[in-house]
Amino acid sequence: MTRIRQPRRRRPPWLVPALLIIPAFLVVFALAAYSAVWLLQLSMVKLTFGDPFRTAEWVGLENYNWLLFNEFTTFWASLRVTAVYVVGTLVPELVIGFLIALLLNRKMRGNSVFTAALIIPMVLMPSMVGMVGRLYFSPYGLINYFIESLTGIRHNWYGADLALWAAVLVDIWEWTPFFILILLAGLQTLPVEPFEAARVDGASRLQSFVHLTLPLMLPLIMTTLILRLMDVLRLFDVIFVMFGGGPGTSTTTLPLYIYRTTLIQRDVGRGSAASVMLIIIIVSLTVILIKLRDRIRYEA
């Protein structure tokens, strides 16, 4: 009697990847979810940092109400500063970064040395970058020395009008290489055929750039922007060391506002409420940019 061998049931193809991902997913999700719920809870209590948690008093949405509508709140001012800082850093970093990446994409002597040197500002400790920035932009610092030598005018980078722009310039110096490195890597992996076809068809360099390079690079540009946006919105150390949020509120970005409210004014509730709002802003902008990137990719 021959036994008929039952065919082995095939495992669904998603099973192994799912099993491998689940532990990491659970750990990350549990940590993120726990932190988010804890932060949300803190944003609805009145609690002084340094006092035991048992002294916390439930106040509902009062902290949000204070931040958004109280006559003495500087939350809106910090939001405005953050917006200026984000646009002021990301746009030039992207433009300058892309131009240098295009330049480095050509075969030139010393490219590798230059690319390696670009990493230096990014690997420096942010507090050190802030300290160097503070010294360079001081009224008698190197930047003013050059500007005064050329124009005869000494600028007050420590003043309310220019302090934020000094911090923006330091950020551009520090983080433009990030755009250069990623966009250069993208340019080096672009397919050659479309460019050759365009050349055969008589397209100029500018036409090739506008109709081929740019559309092909857009998804990567968007991804790089998303990564930097999340980073810039959380930026703290450089501005803190350079100006501590002042003069006035001229450099008080949202992270500095949160720091001052939570750790210096020791108001855990309002600080947490501001943190929740920062998270909402970061997530919203990121989702919008991801959707935009996906649409661009689809259209491309």
Partner 1 sequence: MKARLIFVLLVFALAFSSVAAMSHDPIEDWAAGIKEAYGGTEITVAVASHPSIEAFKTMIPRFEELTGITVTLDEMEEGQLSQRRLLEVSAESASYDAMMIAIEWSPQVAQSGYAVPLEPWIESDITPDWFNYEDILQAYRDMFLWEDGMHYGIPFAGETVFMFYREDLLEEHGIAVPTTYAEVMEAAKYFSENVDGVDGISYRARLGWEFTYMWSIFLAPFGGMMVDPETGDVALDSPGTIASLEYVRDLWQYGPVGVESFSFPEAWDAFMLGRAAIMIEASAAAPEVENPDKSLVAGMTGYSKLPAGPAGAYSGVWGWSFAMMDDSQVKEATWAFIAYLTSEGLQEDYLANGGIVSRQSALGDPDLQAANPYYQATLDALGQAADLGAEGLAVVLPSPKWSQVSSIMGTEGGRAFIGEITVEEAVASMQAQVSEVLAD
Residues that bind partner 1 (CB under 8 A): 46, 48-53, 71-72, 74, 138-139, 154, 156-160, 163, 243-250, 260, 263-267
Looking at the Cβ atoms of 101 and 239, the one nearer to partner 1 is 239
Looking at the Cβ atoms of 16 and 263, the one nearer to partner 1 is 263
Min separation Cβ 51 and partner 1, Å: 6
Min separation Cβ 194 and partner 1, Å: 52
Min separation Cβ 89 and partner 1, Å: 20
**Using omega within 30 degrees of 0 as the cis cutoff, is the peptide bond preceding 247 cis?**
yes
Looking at the Cβ atoms of 158 and 165, the one nearer to partner 1 is 158
Min separation Cβ 73 and partner 1, Å: 10
| CA–CA separation, 64 and 77 (whole Å) | 15
Min separation Cβ 122 and partner 1, Å: 24
**Residues paired with residue 46 on neighbouring β-strands, in sequence order:** 57
Residue found by looking up tokens 């300290």 in the block: 131
Which of 83, 156, 169 is closest to 121 using CA atoms? 169
Which of 279, 282, 270, 256 is closest to 68 using CA atoms? 270
Looking at the Cβ atoms of 101 and 256, the one nearer to partner 1 is 256
List Cβ neighbours of 159 (8 Å cut-off, separation of 6 or more): 247
Min separation Cβ 91 and partner 1, Å: 26
Looking at the Cβ atoms of 199 and 266, the one nearer to partner 1 is 266
List Cβ neighbours of 97 (8 Å cut-off, separation of 6 or more): 176, 177, 178, 179, 180, 183
Two structure tokens written together for 195? 């460019």
Looking at the Cβ atoms of 139 and 215, the one nearer to partner 1 is 139
| CA–CA separation, 38 and 43 (whole Å) | 9
